[in-house]
Amino acid sequence: MTLAREERRVRPAGSRCGVTVAKRRGSGVRMSLDEPKPAPTPPPAVAAVAALVTLAALAIGLTLPDVDLRLGLGHRSALTHSLLPALLPLAWRGRAAACGIAGGIGVHLAADCFPRRMTGYATVKLPLHGALPPLESYAWLALNAAAALLLAAWWARRLHAPAARAFVGLAALAAALHYLWHDPGGWPVLALAGGVAFAAVRARGSALLRRGCEEEEQER
Ligand SMILES: [Zn+2]
């Protein structure tokens, strides 16, 4: 399929929008992706239990990586400072728990990315290998934090219906903010998250303006 499109934009007086003057050539066929089918809605009681399990697991996940101190694994053990503990509930099909633990671990590891100095106590310890160098410790923590947060968001989307998801999202956000506020490494994460949220809101505003302009253009 070939589609050739030539276009130029002009801006009419008194409008914030440019008007696209477009000319198509060739055998253009407009394609649209099908909307994903919504997941079947579970009974309210089941949805509520799943939401509560996710939130309880999130609370556990926030401090779970530091259980290495009690297990004698050496602080910042790669076994607990990674995505691994979030995958364990999957052995019992506990996806709601896995979702919460992944979210909690993601927030914990994000804060661990900002120690005063990435030396000694702060570096990641691999079993049978020992401490990773500073740069690799940063990379380990950052990659596992990003993977855990993305996985938690993906699971939350698949597991929870929109209303439950909104409740879980708000409660999880409050728990994460509380944790980051009280953790020494949490402040840079809050600043970073604030910057990303600001950029996302700006990009969304621009997209809405662009869509409004396109609709105005189509009405002409
Ligand atoms: Zn830690």
One-letter amino acid of 180: L
Q: How far is the CA of 63 from the centre of ligand 1 (A)?
A: 7
DSSP label of 42: P
Q: How far is the CA of 164 from the centre of ligand 1 (A)?
A: 29
CA distances from 162 to 40, 41, 48, 156, 214 (A): 12, 10, 12, 10, 29
Tokens of 193: 């998250």
pLDDT tens, the chain, 220 aa long: 444 444 555 555 555 555 444 444 444 444 445 555 555 677 777 788 889 999 999 999 999 999 998 988 888 999 999 999 999 998 888 889 999 999 999 999 999 999 888 888 899 999 988 899 999 999 999 999 999 999 999 999 988 888 888 888 899 999 999 999 988 888 888 888 889 889 999 998 888 888 888 888 888 7
Q: How far is the CA of 128 from the centre of ligand 1 (A)?
A: 19
Confidence (pLDDT) at 97: 93
- Long-range contacts made by residues 49-54, C-beta under 8 angstroms, separation at least 24? 50/96, 50/159, 50/160, 50/164, 51/96, 51/160, 51/164, 51/167, 51/168, 53/94, 53/96, 53/97, 53/100, 54/96, 54/97, 54/99, 54/100, 54/103, 54/156, 54/159, 54/160, 54/168, 54/172
- Report residues near ion ligand 1: CB below 5 Å: 65-66, 112
Taking residue 105's Cβ as centre, other Cβ atoms within 10 Å add up to 32
Domain edges within the chain: 54-187
Confidence (pLDDT) at 138: 95
Using a 10 angstrom Cβ sphere, with 0-12 exposed, 13-18 middle and 19 or more buried, the burial of residue 62 is buried
Confidence (pLDDT) at 148: 95
Q: How far is the CA of 80 from the centre of ligand 1 (A)?
A: 8
Tell me phi and psi for residue 126, to 5 degrees: -85, 140
Q: How far is the CA of 124 from the centre of ligand 1 (A)?
A: 9
Classified as helix, coil or strand, 202 is helix
Closest CA to 143 of 78, 199, 88, 94: 78
DSSP label of 26: S
